[in-house]
Amino acid sequence: MKKIIGYKCLDCGKEIEYEPIRYLCDCGGNLDVIYDSAAIKKTLTRRSLESNLRFDHWRYLDVLPLQNLDKIPNLQVGWTPVYETRRLAVAVGIKNVFIKDDSRNPSASFKDRASSVVLAYARENGVEKIVAASTGNAGAALACVAASVVFPCVILVPKTAPKAKIAQLMNFGARVVAVDGAYDDAYDLSIKATEKFGWYNRNTGYNPITREGKKTCGHEICEQFSWEPPDYVFVSVGDGNIISGIWKGFKDMKALGLIEKLPKMVAVQSEKSNAVSLAYAAAMKNPSSKIEVKPVRATTIADSISVDMPRDGVAAVRALLESGGFAVEVSDDEIIAAIALTSKTSGVFPEPAAAAAVAGLKKIASRIKDNETALCVITGSGLKDVAAASKSVGEPPVIRPSLEALCEVLAL
């Protein structure tokens, strides 16, 4: 493919010739797709985007690993709204707060970005079946876009995945198998299935094409902020692929001369799933040493970011270091509280992992100056995990069906 130069290993730095079906570097490190920015500059410009009537993430085809749009899913993915949230800003003590609501994607999750690009890429390259490991959202995203073009996929989920997410998966028609173990066990099993049966693997932190889908969020933010990105972008982090993807999107726009400044990336993790945060702290203490991500025992209520070993952790830490950002840890109680806070002040209902970004913003609000802007990426809908959301608000009062009782309970 002419616009792709090749791959570069995010661990050892080795440059590798482009081949369509390639997962990891020989050293085992994750690969990054490298584009010919000088050539792409000629076609992808502010003017070309102004005249582009595709309001989805396919408007960035020039920096996606596809020849054309012939094999894309029959659903609108991307170009999700950005809202200025003044009441949320007051609540967290910051002057300028925005949210990008990716729960508006077809399967109600940010993961549609990666799954749609992986599916289109697979179809363009003659793949016959895709396998993925997921706590729910990535699998639902794949099942959703695959259903739109009747493409077979196998999804492996930990048996503890929220029932709403499993129901969504199965209704899309995917072949779903629950694994008696954690996400990491499902992940490892999917790799074995790839090696044994030759299925194309969608896993983040393994397939470099997933980052190409996720980076489109960064592209959109640049456009939606009139080519002046916010100062801080808060992203909930599990395996690290979303934050590294969004960061790549910003770097794309900078390399193409479409923006001048880059935002600081902020990784928000649960205290009960904090491998990236710990790796970032270690890297800050020893800047000259190799980035090392060590596994933890993840037990957070935020299932979408509950990961023992972040498969794209090195790339996530690099995003923080390169952008001048940082990591922040929040408790599960702070995450649950942030679900209600976000919903009440913005009208957007986040799942626990998505609310973590807001919890992180609230926790470090004192670092952000009045003239700076902060954006939280809402990665999934609260309808994905109503049981968790219910923990922050409890149950409504039950009354007899009379106006007198209604007035009494509402103190009217």
Model confidence over 367-412: pLDDT tens digits? Answer: 999 999 999 999 999 998 888 888 878 888 898 999 999 999 999 8
Q: Which domain holds residue 350?
A: 82-106+210-390
Has residue 375 been placed in a domain? yes
Model confidence over 41-86: pLDDT tens digits? Answer: 999 999 999 999 999 999 999 999 999 999 999 999 999 999 999 9
> What's the whole-number mean pLDDT along residues 328-333?
98
Taking the alpha carbons at both ends of the chain, their separation in whole angstroms is 69
CA distances from 15 to 8, 11, 65, 179 (A): 4, 11, 17, 36
Q: How many domains does the chain divide into?
A: 1
Share of the chain above pLDDT 70, in %: 100
Model confidence over 237-259: pLDDT tens digits? Answer: 999 999 999 999 999 999 999 99
Model confidence over 198-233: pLDDT tens digits? Answer: 999 999 989 999 999 999 999 999 999 999 999 999
Has residue 189 been placed in a domain? no
- Flag whether pLDDT at 316 surpasses 60: yes
- Flag whether pLDDT at 137 surpasses 80: yes
Has residue 187 been placed in a domain? no
- Flag whether pLDDT at 1 surpasses 80: no
User: Do residues 105 and 77 lie in contact, with contact meaning Cβ atoms separated by under 8 Å?
Assistant: yes
Has residue 22 been placed in a domain? no
Has residue 3 been placed in a domain? no
Has residue 313 been placed in a domain? yes
- At 269 the pLDDT is 98
Model confidence over 345-357: pLDDT tens digits? Answer: 999 999 999 999 9
Has residue 402 been placed in a domain? no
Domain CATH code at residue 287: 3.40.50.1100
pTM equals 0.95
